Structure 1
Amino acid sequence: MARGDEKPFLHFEIIINILKRLPVKSILRFRSVCKDWKNLFKTQSFIAEHTRHSADESPFLTLLEYDYSSERASLRLLNQKMETVEVLSIPSNDCFNDGWEIIGSCNGLLCVKGSRPRQLLCLWNPVNIEVREIPQTRKDYWRPSMFGFGFSGIVNDYKIVRFFRPKKVEGLNSKVRLVKMYSLSTDSWKELEPGAVQKTRFKCGNVSVSVDGTMTWLGDEDSLPVLVSFDIATEVFTLTPIPSVIRVPPTTLGVYQNKFVISGHHIESQFMDIWVMEQVASESGKHFSCSEKYSVEIPSYALALDILCIWGNEIVCCDDEEREFGLEGKSEYNLKLFNHTTKEWKESPNISSADDCCAGFSYGGSLVSLFNPQVQ
C-alpha cells in the first residue's frame, strides 16, 4: 500500500493474477490502457494462463440450436445460473451457411463444418471474432466423414483429423478407408496411416473430445465397443476395448477434470451410468482404463434424456418427451442437470425455442489467435 505522497502501487505479478481472471472482451478493451498491458496480452504465457483459467474456473455452457426450416442457427453462452450471458454473432463466412455444426472445441476455438456436399471447414474464435478457412482436399466430395479437433502442447499445434469412406458405401457406419490430418502451423493436410482404425465403425453422430493432447471417439470393432484415440503429437491411433464392466451401451463422450468420461443409459432401467477413464502408458502407446464408475437414477418424469455434455460438475441433459408447443408455434423444453458432487438433479428455467435440434458443450473463451495460435 502507498503512504503519504507515494503513488498507489501493485506488483506486476499481482496485476497479472487479476487480469488473467477477466473475460476476454475486457482484456481486449484493456489493450489500450498502456503499452505494457498490450504487450502482456500477446505473450504465450499469459494467453495460456488465461485460457486455462477460463476453461477450469469459469466455463460457459454453450447451446447451439438450429431451425432447419429457416436454416437459422443460434449460439448462446449460459453462466452457472443458467442465464444467457450472450448470443454470439454468426459469421457471414460460407462455412456457416445451410446446416453448419460444431465438430470440436479446444482452447476457446471452435472447429465448424459446413453442410454437404462440400463440407467446408473453418476455425472460429467467437470471442475475438476471428475466422480462418481450412483449405479443402480432393476427397471433400466423398461420403460424410468423422472429424476430430484438438491441441497438443508438446508440438504447440492445433490439428484436425478427418476419416473418409468410399463413395459407394452408404451411411456413417461404414469402415474407414482414408485418414487425413490438417495442421494449423503448416496450414496444410497430409495423409495418415489408418492402421487399426481401418476395422473400426464409428458411432453415428459421434464427435471427438480432446484432452491433454489426445483426441478420442466412440466406435465398434467386430461389434464390440472401443475407444479410438489419436495422439496429436505422435500422430498415432490406438484402440482400447471398453471394459466389460460397462454394460450399458456408451453413447456420449465428455471431459471431467482433464479426464475422458463415457456415459450411457437404458430408458427401461431408469439409470444412467458414467465411467471415468484414466490414460495409462504401455509399450504400444497410450491406453485407457476405467478408474471410477457412477450410477445415476433418472427421475421418473424424465426418462427420454438426451445427454448433451459434461459441464464442470454437472451432466447436462435434454428431455425430448417434454417438448411442448406453446404460443406462436415455439416449443419449450427444460434442460436437466445432474450434479455428480451433490448427487442432485435440477432443472433450468424454461428456454423458449422453435429449433429442431440442440447441442451443448462446455466452453471457455480465450485470447488464442487463429493467425498466431501458439499456446504453451
Structure 2
Amino acid sequence: MKNSECKLSEMSCGLERIRTLDPSAHCKRRVLEKCSKPKPSERDRAIHIPDDVMVNILSRLPVRSVLKFRCVCKLWHSLTQERYFVGQHYQHHWNKNNPGFIILSWIPRISEITLYYFTEEIHKFRMKGHRREETFSLSNPCDGLICVYGLESTYIVNPSIGEFVTLPEDSLNRPYRPNVGANIGLGYDISTGEYKVVRLAPRTRFPESCTTSCEIFTLGSHSWRAIGDVPYSVSCSVPAFVNGNIHWTIRTDHDEDPRIGLSFDIKNETFDVILHPEGHTDSIFATVTELGGYLCVSSSNSTRANNHMQKDLYILEDYISRKWIKHTIDMRLVGLQNPSFLAPRMQPVVVQHGKIILANDWGRFEYYNPKTRCFEKPAFLTPGIVAPYLESLISPLAIQQTMDEGIPERDAAFFPSDRGQQAGVGHL
C-alpha cells in the first residue's frame, strides 16, 4: 500500500484526459476535459502510468489515502469525486468482505458527538455544530453512510470523509420531540439509486405503544412523508439492512410470541413480519444484525440449565424460502462477571477476519472464532453504541446538492444489486 502511494505521489498530473471509466452499459460515460499542459518531457514519459491503471490504483486505496491525493492536483480532486469512481472504490473495498465497526460516543455537558470507526486502524470523527441533546442513537450503516439521531435532531453522516447533513423536522407535528422512542433505519433503493431514511416512532410518548407511525425521508429531498401506521412496536436496538429490506426486532414481553422481526421493503415501501426460527426460545433479548451479508437473529437460550449462558445465532441462509441455520456460542468461555445479566446482552456486531465480534451497550467487545468455537482476542472496553461499518467516499452533501440543483440522480448501477448476499457466515 505504501509503495503504491509513493509511486502515485511522484507521478505527473499533466494527463491529457481520463478515458471512459465505466465499461458497463448501465452507467453514463464520463470523460473529463483535457488538461492544458506543455508536452511532457522525457522524464515525464518515463514515469507515465496509463490512465486506467492509475484510476485502478487510486480506487483500491483506503479512503484517507484518496482524500490526501485529492490535494495533488485539480484533476485528481475532480476524478476522485466522480460518481463512477466513488462506486468503483466502494466495490473494491466491499468485495474484501472485511468490514469494521463504529462506536457512537457523546458527552451531553459539552455537546460533543464522537464517532470512532475501526477498520484496519482506529479513526475518529468529531461532529461539530449539532444540536445539544441528552442522548443519541445510531441507525444501521448503508454504503458508508449512517444516521445519528437524538430526541429532536437527525443527521446523515459519513465519518470516513468527515461530512454530515441535518435532516428537517418530521411531518407529523407530534406534541413532543419527534425521535422519542423512535428507531431509524437507512436503506438504498437499487431501482432508483436513492437512499431512504425510515423512521418508526410510537404514536404516544410510550415506546411500548402498539401503534407505530412510519415516515420516509429520501436523501436529497426536503421533507419527510408519512406512509401510515404499523401495528407493532420495535425495540431500540440497531436495525439491519439485508436483501433490500430494513429489519427491526419486534418489542415483546414474553418468549411465546412467534413474531421476531419487522421488515421494510425499501423499494416497494411495504412491511412484512418475520417469524422466529424453529427452536428459537428467547424473544425478549433477541436482536437482528447483518453478518457477512446474511440476516442474523441472535438470542440467549433461557433454560434453567445454562442460566442464559448460551448464545444462539440463527442465520437466514435463504431469504426467499426462509431457511435458517443455527450456530451456538458457549458464553461460559468468556469469563464475564455477573454472567446471567451480561451474557444475554452480548450481541454479534460484525464478522472481521473470520471472527465474530460481539459487544454490549457498555462497550465490552469479544472476538469469537466460529471454527474453533473459542474466544481468542482479549476483551477491550469502549463505551458507546456499536454498529457495523464499511468506509466509503459517498458524500451526503453532494447528494443533497444534486437534488437542490435539479441534476439527475446517479445511475443505480454503480452498486451491485446482489450486495449483502455474498458468502461468508452462511456456513458456520
Same fold (TM over 0.5): yes
Alignment of 1:246-257 (within 5 A): 246-249=280-283, 251-257=286-292
State the alpha-carbon separation in 1 of the partners of residues 210 and 200 from structure 2. Answer: 9
State the alpha-carbon separation in 1 of the partners of residues 388 and 394 from structure 2. Answer: 17
Alpha-carbon shift at residue 12 of structure 1 (Å): 3.0
Specify which structure has the higher proportion of helix. 2
Structure 1 gap ranges (5+): 282-287, 324-332
C-alpha contact (below 8 Å) 2:113/2:128 kept by paired residues: no
Alpha-carbon shift at residue 308 of structure 1 (Å): 5.4
Q: 2:153 aligns with which of 99, 103, 120?
A: 120
Give the counterpart letter for 2:168 in structure 1: P
Which residue does the alignment assign to 2:326? Answer: 293
Computing the radius of gyration from Cα coordinates, the structure with the larger value is 2
Alpha-carbon shift at residue 318 of structure 1 (Å): 4.1
SS of residue paired to 2:117: strand
Write out per-residue CA displacement over residues 161-220 of structure 1, whole angstroms, 9 at most, x where no aligned residue: 1223233xx5322112421111113232111134xx32x2222x2231112422111115
SS of residue paired to 2:141: strand
Alpha-carbon shift at residue 15 of structure 1 (Å): 2.5
Alpha-carbon shift at residue 246 of structure 1 (Å): 2.0
Write out per-residue CA displacement over residues 297-351 of structure 1, whole angstroms, 9 at most, x where no aligned residue: 123413323225123333323479xx9xxxxxxxxx7521112244331234644
Which residue does the alignment assign to 2:406? Answer: none
Which residue does the alignment assign to 1:156? Answer: 193
Shift in CA distance, 186/278, structure 1 to aligned 2, threshold 3 Å: farther
State the alpha-carbon separation in 2 of the partners of residues 156 and 110 from structure 1. Answer: 17
Alpha-carbon shift at residue 73 of structure 1 (Å): 4.8
SS of residue paired to 1:372: helix
Shift in CA distance, 182/237, structure 1 to aligned 2, threshold 3 Å: same
Q: 1:227 aligns with which of 230, 240, 261?
A: 261
Alpha-carbon shift at residue 156 of structure 1 (Å): 0.8
Specify which structure has the higher proportion of strand. 1
Shift in CA distance, 272/368, structure 1 to aligned 2, threshold 3 Å: same
Alignment of 1:45-194 (within 5 A): 45-57=84-96, 58-66=98-106, 73-79=113-119, 85-94=122-131, 97-114=133-150, 116=151, 119-137=152-170, 138-139=173-174, 141=177, 143-167=180-204, 170-194=205-229
Give the counterpart letter for 1:316 in structure 2: I
Which residue does the alignment assign to 1:15? Answer: 54
C-alpha contact (below 8 Å) 1:230/1:236 kept by paired residues: yes
Write out per-residue CA displacement over residues 75-110 of structure 1, whole angstroms, 9 at most, x where no aligned residue: 323345xxx62232232221x643222223211112
Shift in CA distance, 45/148, structure 1 to aligned 2, threshold 3 Å: same
TM-score by length of 1: 0.79
Q: How many residues end up aligned between the 2 structures?
A: 339
Give the counterpart letter for 2:188 in structure 1: F
State the alpha-carbon separation in 1 of the partners of residues 378 and 103 from structure 2. Answer: 13
2:258 matches 1:218:
no
State the alpha-carbon separation in 2 of the partners of residues 348 and 70 from structure 1. Answer: 32
C-alpha contact (below 8 Å) 1:230/1:238 kept by paired residues: yes
Alignment of 1:330-341 (within 5 A): 335-341=365-371
Q: 1:311 aligns with which of 351, 361, 374?
A: 351
Give the counterpart letter for 1:201 in structure 2: S
SS of residue paired to 1:188: coil
Give the counterpart letter for 2:242 in structure 1: V
Between the aligned residues of both structures, percent identity stands at 20
Give the counterpart letter for 1:307 in structure 2: Q
Structure 2 gap ranges (5+): 1-41, 400-409, 415-428
State the alpha-carbon separation in 1 of the partners of residues 50 and 155 from structure 2. Answer: 41
Give the counterpart letter for 1:108 in structure 2: G
RMSD over equivalenced CA pairs, Å: 3.0
TM-score by length of 2: 0.70
